[in-house]
Each structure stands twice: as C-alpha cells, then as structure tokens.
Amino acid sequence: MSRVLGGLLLALAAMAQIQRLPPRMPAGQDTPTGHGVIEGTVVDAATHEPLKKAKVTIGLRAQTPPTAFTDASGRFVFRELPAGGFWVNASKSGYNQAQDSLGADSNLQITLGADETKKGVEIALVPGGSISGRILNEDGLAVRNCYVQAVQPGYEQGKRILTAVAGGMGTTDKGEYRILSVAPGRYYLFAHCAAELPAPHPLLPRGDPRTPHETYVPQFYGGGLDPAAATRVTVAAGASLEGIDFEMRRTRALTLRGSVTAADLEGPPDNVMVMLYLANPLMQNLMQLSASTDPRSRTFQIRNVIPGSYRLTAFTRREGHSASVERTVEIGTAPPEPIELALSMGADLKGAVQFDADDHQEIENAHLLLTPVGIRRYGSQTQAEINKDGTFTLAGVMPGHWRLTLNGFGYVKSLSLAGQQVSPYDFQISPGASGPLQVLVGTKMADISVTVTGLVGGGQASVLIFPEDLDRLGAGLERVGVGGSQLGIGGLPPGHYRLFATDAPNPWILQQRPDLLKAIESSTQAIDVPEGGHVSATVEVVSRQELIRLVAEKEQ
C-alpha cells in the first residue's frame, strides 16, 4: 500500500473519530483586559476588495482566542484589549496568508499602548489558485481514485527533496480532479494512481504468486518519473489553471516478498516496519510503499511495485533498543526473488573526550549528539552523556554517515575513529565497526561584535552567521542576533564564516536553505573567526525587498 498526502489527510480529518474538547473555563477568567481597541479590514491581496466572513483571531492569553468574522466591508473590531504586543491573524477558505518568497507567514504584529485605539489595520489574504484536469488511461477511459499533488522542491535535513504542498481528493469516476487553495508559485504536478489492476492470465489458483497484476506508472505533468524532464506550471493569485490532464500508462506490477530476522535483538523481531523508497533521493517523499511484517511468519509483502531502483529499509524498536537494516533493490519485469532482511542493532561505540585546555567547565553539563548525514526516516539521533572520567558510549549506531556535535559548552575540534582521523561533520560507520572514538573538545570560542551599516533610523536588523562551507550547516555553527546597528554574538568556534544582515522579519529560515544562502552570497561578508578572543566586523544591511529579489532571481 502506498501513502498519499493531501486529499487523503483531508478525508481522514473529516471522518473525525471521537474528539476530545479541552475542559471549558468560564470566559473572563485569566483574561487580561484594558480599554484598547484594534480596528481594521481584511482584503483580497490581488484585487484589494474587502473580504466578508474572514475569520480574524488575536493572540491574547485567553482560554479561546477572541474570534471575529468580518462583515461585508471586511471590517473587524476588537475591544477591551490590554496594553502589549499581539499578533493578529486572518484566514478564509480559499485564501492563503500572504507569504513572502522566504516562505514566512506574515502574521501581523501590533503593539498597543494602554487604552490606545489603533485603526486602519489592513490584512491582505492572497486568493488561492486552483489546478484542475482529467486523468485518462491509454484506452481513453477515465481513471478514478488517482491523486494529483502540487509539488515543490524543499529541504529536509539539509538535503534537497521534492515535497507535496497541496493536493485534493482522488479523481472522480469521470477522472476529474481539482486542487484548491494553491499559493501562487511554480509547481510540479505528480499523479499517482495506486490501484492494483488485474491482468489477463490462464487458470491459476487464487492468490498464487505467479498471478500477474498491473498498475499505472506514476508521473509528473510533462511526462515521466524524472523531475528534470517535467513541466512546471505557474499559478497566479486567484487564477484557475484548467486542463492539466494526464494520460496514464499501465505497467507490470510486482510484489516484493521477503522475511526479516534479527540476530542480535533479544527475542524474535515483531512490529517490523518495512519501507520501500525510490532510489532517487529527490523522490523519497513522493513515492513510498510500506508494509508491516506478519508477526508469526515474520514475512512481508509489498504489492504494486513498478520496475525501478529502490532502497528497502526495515526498522523495529523494542524497549529502547532499535534495530534496522537498509539495502538497495532492483526490480525488473520478472517477479523478484524473496529478500531476507537481517536487522542489526548497530554497534555500541565507546569513546573518550579530551580538552584542548585545562580550564574548562564541568563535563556534566555537556553531552554528545550523533545525527545522520542525509535523510533518515527512523532511529535518527543518538545521544551520549559524558561520564565524569570523560568516557561515553554511543549505543546502537547503525552503519552510515554521521555527524558528531557537542551540546553544552565547547565544540568538537577533532575526531578520530579507531585511530583514524575523521571529519566530525561527516564520517562513516561501516558495518561491524567498533570504536574507540577519540573526541578533542575545543574550549576556546570567540565573541564577535558586528556593526550594521545602512539601517534606516531606529530600525532593527537581524544578523545571520553561518559557516562558509555549506556542508557544515546544521552542526550548531549558525547564529542569529537581532538588534540595532551594534550587535554582539558570542560563543563561536573558530573557522571561516559569512555574515549577513537584513531588516526582513524572519531571516532564520535561510539557515535551512543552502540554496538560498548561496543566492545571497554576494551580499554576505566573509569573516575569519580565531580560536577564542574577540573579533569585529562590519556588514551592510540588505533590505527586505532586496532579499526577496535575490531569492526570486535564484528561483528562476
């Protein structure tokens, strides 16, 4: 069975199993009030027409946030507000919150003085576009229960991956689909019809493994399973994109069978989850097939697999111990041979830390964190407390690429595994590997004072510091400081960094996007951070509009 997002989630939510409401407190308790007033309108961002029955909520510490529904003039008023800062949020079916290209929601922030009346607050909602079309098969007949998803490239754990951002319900009996509330932008469209179809065959026992089946090949709009060859469509605010049709092709559907064993796990493996992904890392979120193992026979079968290159993973967890295995699988047009998966618990890596100086804080405050390099769906992080004598054990480490960071004070200055020097940012654990891990902790970290130039009087700037080597993103080397034209940022390990300053409100999103950091490179300031001590730097502020322009240029 395959997992699909979008419409299926919507349908599940509507099916509403018993929901529990929080106990209700009488209104008025614990709600601070004053005599402040916030008054405003909600408008359509494209036409500037007022929006009726938009839901407006204000972030107040009350049991239920005060909610208003705008009238025909788009008007809303909140009265008896205390002094302070609030966010004001508007929503309406078919509309999306205005988002800048950085992907940040613009929840309106309002600061209210005591008994102040603030008028003319305007919230613009972007009308969602829609994408619709029809899905037919090669016989010209409508295909029902197909799911079409609007897909965009994103980042997960630092790696580029395609993710569905909008979807609808399955195609109707007429093969028609519609995706609503699509934010303006460029999208791939991915159609997936998950049905296992019969194929002609002579007399065979029902359920016989030789019984042939077919299924439809999932595809991008523009053809094929390769996003590089796919057509991207552009959705403008409020626009309806129609006639985005697909012709689905049938292919042989195969069943992958196998069994699991777990030599080093105590007792037989039960509750094992087996997952099959396309080998292409870009596609992992779009096509996943999974199965759980039968507890008695410890076998699994994944049906409806089309020929291709895959990664097969199995994972189980019991009493805090996890065991897993991963391997590549090639599926051709012939029924595949059964696969035996041997789960292993991973190695316990022992090690010790040493410090590069004698004056350092107590070890008890620090622990080591092992995180995977690349996308992992299960059993990701491993943590180890450092004992008083400096020793530690990282339990159950699976083969693969890992990164070691230190939480607490200091940083991992150098790392060796079984006597070999390795990079703490990306080192490999092979099957059957053992330690010891020797960690050298760097204790000297630098402070940086940043002068931001070009700020318009009284404005605020956010300063980003990130490693020059973008492969080191996510290892605790990024910092953000927010303030006026003078900022201080402390506790940075030595190395090559880049500085970036902007007056845009939510720049920290950039930190997860190596592609965007590359785009703004020309506006960054290189800085060499020494081991300990103090450094000064100056950087020119990049305005929000300029930042959006740089990002948009990159998106072309």
Nearer to other proteins, 15 or 228 (CB): 15
Tokens of 163: 């993710």
CA distance readout (Å), 470 to 13, 69, 377, 467: 39, 46, 23, 6
Report the nearest approach of other proteins to the CB of residue 384 (Å).
40
Look at residues 320, 342, 309 and name the one whose alpha carbon lies nearest to residue 396.
320
Nearer to other proteins, 60 or 161 (CB): 60
> What is the helix (H) or strand (E) element at residue 393, kind and residue range?
strand 391-397
Nearer to other proteins, 62 or 535 (CB): 62
Nearer to other proteins, 77 or 433 (CB): 77
Look at residues 290, 279, 282 and name the one whose alpha carbon lies nearest to residue 194.
290
Residue 63 near residue 28, CB atoms below 8 Å: no
Preceding peptide of 436 cis, ω within 30°: yes
One-letter-per-residue 3-state SS of 282-337: HHCCCCEEEEECCCCCCEEEEEEECCEEEEEEEEEEECCEEEEEEEEEEECCCCCC
Report the nearest approach of other proteins to the CB of residue 44 (Å).
15
Return d(Cα 282, Cα 287) in angstroms, integer: 10
Report the nearest approach of other proteins to the CB of residue 120 (Å).
15
Nearer to other proteins, 113 or 533 (CB): 113
Report the nearest approach of other proteins to the CB of residue 22 (Å).
11
Beta bridge partners of 353: 439
Nearer to other proteins, 53 or 518 (CB): 53
Nearer to other proteins, 81 or 286 (CB): 81
Contacting residues toward other proteins, per CB under 8 A: 10-11, 13-21, 23-24, 26-28, 31, 33, 52-53, 55, 60, 62, 66-72, 75-81, 93-94, 139, 141, 144, 168-169, 172-173, 178, 180-181, 198-207, 210
Return d(Cα 84, Cα 76) in angstroms, integer: 19
Q: Report phi then psi at 550, rounded to 5.
A: -60, -40
